[in-house]
Structures are given as structure tokens and as C-alpha cells.
Structure 1
Amino acid sequence: MSSIDPTAISRHRSPDLISGYRLEKLVGTGGMGEVHKATQLSLGRTVAVKLLNAELAKDPSFIARFQKEAAALAALSHPHVVSIVDKGKTDNTYYLVMEFVDGPSLRELIRSPQLDMLGALRRMLEICRAIEYAHGRGVIHRDLKPENILLDQQAGGIAKVSDFGLASFLDDASPSSRYALTSTHVSMGTLSYMAPEQRVDAKNADARADIFSLGVILYEWLTGEVPLGTFDPPSQRKPGLDARLDGIVTKCLKPDPEDRYPSVAALIADLELLVPGSLPSLLPVKQTRMQRFKAGVRQVVRVTLRVAAGLMVLAASGVLGTAYYLSGERRAPIAPGAALMGYLGEPRTQPVPGREEANAERRRVTLGEGLAEQSLVVSGRPVNLEEKTLVFPWQEDTQSVGRVRVDVTRRDGDILSLISRFSVAGPPPTWERRLRDMFNLYQPSAPPTVAMMLLGTTGRYVALVHNGVGEPLRLEWALGERRGAMLGMESPRTGDVALELAVDAEGRLEAFLGAGKDRRALFEPLVLGTGWVEQFGDAPFPAYGCIEATCRVSGITYELRQSPPGGTTAPVPTPPPPVVKAVATAAVPAKAVVPKKAPPPPPPKKQPPKPAPKNGKRR
């Protein structure tokens, strides 16, 4: 419902139009009717009454849409979804009685000139959790926009999703299927917030259409603009925004549904990394028997298509499917950093060309060129040096995870920099791999991954993870009890990726993408403190890892230096200023004072001659 217009105030509704309710005030109007603040007489509580326009009440399609909203709300009970109280029919129209939300719509909050990014992300998580819950109950909203999200001021400004009049139901056998409105190849919704597939065929749009709408809302909330056509990432439109939001918004707004987040739960997982102290996501809702049956049918179809190449593959997938249903649960995927730090077999030493430059203040190690020999400690997959490039080649008969550590002998210092260039490509689609994928149908393989790492002692590490072109970069760390992960912007879509890990003397660990004028920070700094070396157990080794891919690493430079004592260079002593005595005088223009020479002593005075005696004699 939109905010009321001036002419709407003049419309008069009888307070007792609906039995059991007293209409108090018109609070909103829309294309289908009006919303009134009202009192439920039996309980004395404030509610919202939505009245269908009397003219539209004569049209069966609008009556069905009105009834459909009631059916959708009746199926949902969630703190971030407006709840339904009652529904009914008067002499000339239909009505819904809903929870009254005392507060503005999200549209009014978006128009505010000040953006509270942390507050916006928390509210966005609330909206996403409401939609995740609705999808779990088989309800797709299909008309998400700022006008349909209300902020309950009495409950601390929490978000509540409303207006399910265009909702669709995943379970066609549900009682609400009789309210089906949309025909094939018909578009319904608000154009600016609709997914491309929904504009063409709203009936067949699935839950990923709501994910697209959520991406539009988030982009508009952050930038004040609706993304149309080719759009700039949010951090470019609004300087100062967290660059990690670029990857999240871009993934929501992919034109192809297959490229978007597979579920709202996956979107929530990425958003939660940006909101410190956010509540965990709600547990998945138990599906109905019909939903489980349809999900099983879709799964069988997908399996059948993949095993059509031969009876052997069909038998293998059948055995795997039986094992999956007997086990009853899926194992959680292992984080890339943790997978690389696992036991990969006995390590082996491999010499490679390199160069080591050292002086009293710093040590700099470069691999791939130079006359000095450097040692690599290789675990898991083999690694080769090809024209100054470390290569993890893909071999079907070896394990999928490999790790290599540069064995730097002296690591004295508290300022660190590790720079490299990366490329990663998935393994070739051979028949052997397709067969293995069939056995991994319910436990997908890890994505192609290359990582730059700083390795300490006893399993302590920091890893900058790259999952391929166009995928968000990821920072992971495990330093004793300090563990976590952050998502960054998407990697560039052309050429190799230049990455850097740097730690300054104050213990600020930062990751950068690009070099020179194109160098930019990927994440918020990870503050380890001035004793950061102790958190690794010792000054860390540079290392690289590769999972399920052909990985190439070049331009490797590792630099470690010691900060000056006290953090700054000792100042050059300066002579003390001359002492000037203060003399009280009248204000006069300043003049240069030139010291005068002391005047010469006056010549000695001549003694006057004594007068002669009167008698002519001298005494």
C-alpha cells in the first residue's frame, strides 16, 4: 500500500462497515483498495483492515488475488511477516484484517539522506529471513519492493514483509491453488523490481525471482538508485561503502537465474559476514509431504539425465541415492583454508631458482629468477616451476589438494608483504571425472580454488582465497582462538589476478587487489595488534594452496623487515633557542636589532696649569 493522497482523506467510510470492527482512520491506498486503522471490538486491539475496491470486487480475477493474499498470509507465521487476523465479505466488497504495523514503509527510509549501512544490513537480513521462511513454506512473494516492507516502530523498527497478493505457491496441490492468477507467458509485478524471467513468464518464475528483487532493494537502499541495464557496483556509486557488498549485489542481479544465489539462505550466509553480532539464521522449515515428494521427483529427474550415458553410471547413482537417504544428512562443506591445512601426506623438499636480498633492516625473497637456490616444502599434489611460474598441474590419479611452503630460513621483522599473481581453472571434464561427480551428487566437490597463505606454527594461518573469475574473494584466518572469514569483491573477469597480503608494525593485516594506481583494499583491516608475530607462533612462512583445479602462481615476492626502534627515526638534535629578556615597551614596528659597539673611552682630561705665586716663587 502506498501512502495516502490528499483526495483520499475526503472518502468517508462508516465506522461500523465491518461487523466486529470499528474503522478509525484511512492510513493508505493502493491499486486494489484502501487500508484503514481499526479497532477489533472483541479484544479492544488495534488492527489494519484492507478493503478491496468496490468496483474491483465485481471482477473475479481481483477477488481471487485478494483471497490469495489471505491464503498466503494464513500459511505464514513469522516475526518479520505481517500476520493475518481475519477475512470476510460485506454487502459490496471483501476485506482482510491484519496486524497493524505502526511505522513507515522502507520507501520512506530509503529517501532519507543519511545512510546507516550497518542498520540497513541488519534490516536487510530481517527481510531475507522472512522470505527464506516463506520459501520454506512453499510461498513465493513475486512483488517485493520498498512499499511492501513496513518498519514496526513499536518493536524497535524491525522490518515486516506485507502484500502477498501476487504470491505463488510451490505446492500446486495446496488449498491455495484454486486462487491461481497467472497464466503462462504473462508478466505480473512491479517492473523495476522484477527478475528478467518474471517479466516474460511470471507463472514459471521460481524462488530465485525473489532473490533478484532483494538485490534491487539492497542496491537502491545503498545508492538511492534502481539498477537499470549495465550498472556500476554500489561502492563506485557511493564512495565509502564496503566493497564486499559489490559481489553480493552483483550475484543477486545476475540475468540468468542459474548464476544467482541458489537460495535465500546462501544470500543470508554472505550478509551475516558483514554484520557483526547478527543473529544466526532460522532453522529450515519442515516441508510438507507433498513438497518432499515433489523435491524427490525433481531430484530423480536430474539424476536420470546425468546417468543416461550408461547402465554402470545409473547403478552407481542408485547406490549413492540409497546411501544418501539412509544417512539422512549432508556433511557441511569444509572451508578452503581448513582443507589446505589438513594432513596431505609426508612433505617433500623441492629446490627452485630464486633470489634473496638482505641487509640490516629487511629481507626480500623472490622465486623463479636468480642464482640463489630456494627450497619449497611440498605437501599433497606435485608442483612444477615453468618459466618463473609455480604450477599445480591437474592429474586425475593424484589427490585434489596441494600445498607448497617457501622455506625462508631467516624471518626477523614485524612488517610483512607477500605479492603474487594467480590464475585458476577447473579440471577437464573427462569421463572419469563425470563418474566421480555422480558419486559426489549429494556432496558436491569443492570449487576450483587457489590460495595465498601465511603459515605459522601448530595450524595457525591466514589465507586469501580465489575461486575463479567473477567469484568473490575470501579472507580466512585461524590464529589460536581467533578464527573467522570475510567476503570481498568479485575477482576481475580478464587476465590474471594480482593479490597482496600485508601486515604493518601496528599489526594491521590487509589484503589488496591490483598493483600501482589500480591497487585497492579488499576487506576491512584485520587488527592483530603490535604483538602480531606471536599470534602466528613465529614470523609466518609464505605458502600457496590449490584445490580441484589447475593453479598458476607467478610474480612471487616475500618481504619482511624490522620497523625502526620506537616506531620512528630518532630526531636530529637542534641547539636550544637563545634566551630573550622581556622588556615592557610601547608597541612599535619591529626592527632588526643590531648590537652597537661599545664607545671608546674618553681621552684623559688635561690638568689646568697651576697659577704662579704672587711673589714669583714656585713652591
Structure 2
Amino acid sequence: MSSIDPTAISRPRSPDLISGYHLEKLVGSGGMGEVHKATQLSLGRTVAVKLLNPELAKDPSFIARFQKEAAALAALSHPHVVSIVDKGKTDTTYYLVMEFVDGPSLRELIRAPDLNVPVALRRMLEICRAIEYAHGRGVIHRDLKPENILLDQQAGGIAKVSDFGLASFLADASPSSRYALTSTHVSMGTLSYMAPEQRVDAKNADARADIFSLGVILYEWLTGEVPLGTFDPPSRKRQGVDTRLDAIVTRCLKPDPDDRYPSVTALIADLEILVPGSLPSLLPTKQTRMQRFRQGVRKVVNRTLQVAAVLLVLAAAVVLGLALLRGNQPSRARPGVAIMSDLGTASSGSGPGRKETGAEKFTVNLGDGPDAMALLVTGRPIQFEGKALVYPLVDEQPRVGRTIVDVVGFEGDILSLSARVRVDAQPPSWERRLRTALKLDSPAPDPVAALLLTGSTGRYVALTYNGAGEPMALEWVLGERRGAMLGLASPEGEAHLELKVDAEGLLQGYVGKGKDQRAIGEPLNLGPGWMEHFGNAPVPGFGCNEGACRAEGFTYIVRKSPPPGTTAPVVVPPMARPVVANAVPAKAVTPKRPPPPPPKKQPVKPPPKGGKRR
């Protein structure tokens, strides 16, 4: 067991915390607790003591998980599984006492620059035999990863599997009801090493989930990388790796459990052929009458197959001769690569649409509106049918088309591109069927449509969709960063697709809309300043390879993120607006009063007759 980093911080433990054991040195720590090197006083031997975190020791679920690991280890006794010595409880926590493995973890071995392939395969065979034994005892590990595999230096570097804290018991194993901790539709384990079905529903994942994890470990051991999305075979990643390992790893990593090895025993049978000097996993036993009968049938079948193989070689020679006359067929590229390949000179075109430019938002709608949108069309011709952008069925070449919307003059760091997309297959002609049957042409690829974000020459992101149940894919070529990631199966018929990039540079593909929207895979993290990966500011596009492709509601939106430390403005009703300091007061308005009535005139008395007015 490897030592922890000397900078690790841990609260000191009393050496005599556990009766009968003397704790000597902290050698590992994690979320569940700590592992100490200790001495078993009764026998004077070195052991490993695993202590549950005292805070977690108050939680019944963590106590049950700790007890579950003890039950799993107690059910197993194998030279490549860490053995349990004792378990118990103190006043503050629970503990397990296990065999002490003096050596590094597989993680440290994978990081080493030099790879000895025969030794790696021999150790991998030991790990597989440990898991085969565990499955035979009704225990599924569910958390296989390099950190949980130790290499015992005192025993010649043999591998030992540890940490059964997430193990599950098969239905026919006695401890299953007592330690059934995982709820339905709950994911448990380490994401990079988990089988697809385990990510969705860990409780119902069976032994084939461990086979997927073994495939990830083997691939990472051979190449130094974890297989994500569409990955290259190990023999292409590292020289000296036997090409037969490609098929073994690929079968382990099949997304559908039914396509993987049916058992670890079958995986071992293929690995043993590649490991020089390995011992057979099964000892010879006395055959029954039925087994002898089956062996005789196999001999007859093998002879028949040998004759058929000779005939097949002759037929293959004829087909190969025809193929050589036609020249070598190019290897089939990924859909995004095919759509973004050199399709010749682009032609200018236009289509109906609407462009709206605001202070914080820029929007382009293609297919409906008063504006004439500039398009760059390469390969297959495109047309508008109502509000939809359409690649109709074609019988002649080219079968690949790409249309880029020529939009410039916008700024922003939040982006989305969406459309309702439909793909229909091209009915094969009799001539094409005949040429395919004679191997004169390679089989036609499945029709695929793609939403595109393109930058400077050769830089792009493509969300591909075939509408026939095949996995959707996110492909990217952004300078040195390039790759592909498979995701959810394509829904049949029409689907709403969307590409989004946020201000932090997380790029994600989605299918569906509103509450039904689902991410097709893991996000691609381009980081802040993500547009630099595109060279030029990314522009939207639509592509089609084979068949008929249709995009309706094509919408491209670019937004500016708010400056740091600002929040969205709050609209205050007029009667509740606060008085703003230093504001210029409005002039007071005094309601007008009605003017006073004019004074009444006094009647003028006429002067007296014959006299003077006084």
C-alpha cells in the first residue's frame, strides 16, 4: 500500500485506539476515512487498519456501506484479493483490519513512462482472475479503477484488488438483502470507469459492468489515456501493442452489455493467448459423457470449417482481384469529418431569413423572414421548401453537402444554435446493390445530418444525427484539440437539436426541447476565451451526408454575458420607486386656484335736481 503525500493533513490518532493493535503510520486517506499501517500485537505481524470517519460513523448508511465491504471481503479468499483479518467498533468509529500490501497502486504504475506490455498483461490477467472469483462468489465490485488495485512488492509485484465498499451481491447470495444499499436509478462509482448502464441505474447493473471497467483499465494501462467517446485502438496509440488487444478492449467497452464478454472467464480465455507462460485459469477435470460427445462434435465441425476456410480463401482471392482492379477503397471517415472535408469551391447563394441586432443580443433565423441571408454552399445543392432548409435526395455525386450562413459583425461569448432536423435514407438502386455485393463499391454510409459551428479553415464543431437509432455524436477539430464523443441514440423521425456554449466555455449538445431536453453526452470544456479555439468568430451551418436532410426553425443566437459584479436591472412600480440620492428634484407643481370674482360695482346715485353733487 502506497504512502500518502507528505503534505496531507490528518488529525492524529492514538496509537492504541484499537485494542490489540498498535497504529504506526497513516498511509492513505479519503472520503470514507483513513488507512493506517499497524501491528497486530497478538501475532506481531503488520496489517492495515481502515478507520471510518467519526462523523460518518453517525450515519447509518455509511455504517452499512462499511459493514458491506467487510462482508464482501469475508466472502472472498483469493491470492489476488486483499484479505480481511478482523473488524470491530470503538467508542467513536468502526474499523476493518486487512492484509497490508507493501507496494504502489496501479495508478502510480500507469504514470510510469516505460510500459512492459507482457508484464502488464500478466498483471491484468491476475486482476481478471480475482474478479472472476468474486463473481463466482456472488460479489460484483462496481468500483474498479487503478487506485483500488495494489501491487505487492514482497510477493513479486502481483496485483491485489481492494476497496469493495461499493460492491453488490447477486440475487442468490445470502448477504444481498442485508446490504442492498443502492436505490434503483442511482449512479454509484467513478464516472470514467463506470459502464453506461451503471451511470443510470447502479442497483440493476450486473457483472458485465465490471467487464466494462476492466476494459477501461486495460486501455488506460496500454495507452496512458482513458477512452472517451470515439477512441483509437491501443495498437495505434502505442507501438509494440499486439493488434489482437484491439478487439479485446473494444468488446469490453461496448455500450450495450449484451455485446460485451458474457463473463470474465471468456475475457480471460482471450487474454491468456497473449500472455506468455500464463497458467490456465481452469484445471482439467474428468469429462462427462455429454462433454465427450460435444468434443467429438467440435472435431467434426472443425474439419468442416477447415474445408470451408479453403473455399473461402479462394473466393476472397477472386473478390480481392476485383477490388484491386477498382483500386483501394478509402477508409470511412466520421460523419463530421466527411461533411467538413474539402468539397470543392463554395458558391454564393441566399435564402429568406430574419436578422435582429441589439445591444446585448444578436439573432439569425433562417427560412422565414424579410431579410436575404447570405449563404456559402459547397458540394450538394440546397433548396428551401416553405420554412425549411432541404438537401433533397440525389442519385449522382456529390453526396455530401455543406451550407454556411455568412454572418459577420456580432460580439458575444454565449452562443446557441438550434433546429428541428430530419434525415431520410436514400433507396439504393439496383446498380449500387450489385456493385456493393461484388465488393466493387464500399457499402453506402448511413445518412447523417449535422449542425455546424465553423471558424477559420479546418476548425469546427459538429453535432451529428441520423434519425435511425444510431448514437448521436459531438465531433470537434479546433487546432490541436480534436476528438469525437458518442451520446444518446438518435430518436427516429424529426428531432430538435441544439448546440450551446456558455461564457465559461462549456460546449454541450442537446436533443429535445423544454422539459424533454437531454444532453447527448459529456460537455466539452473549452475554457474562458473559448472563441480563440475557432480562430475566427464561429458561424452557423448545416451539413448532410447521403440521403435527404431537412432543417426547420434554424436559429442562431449570440449574447454578451453581463459584466462581472453586475446583476439584471429590477423594474420597480412607479408608486414604489425609492428616492435617489443627489438626484435633481422635479419642479413643484401647485394646482391652479380659480380667480376671485370681480368686485361688485356700487350703484351711482343721480344728482339732485337743481343742486350739485357732493
| TM-score scaled by length of structure 1 | 0.49
TM-score normalised by L of structure 2: 0.49
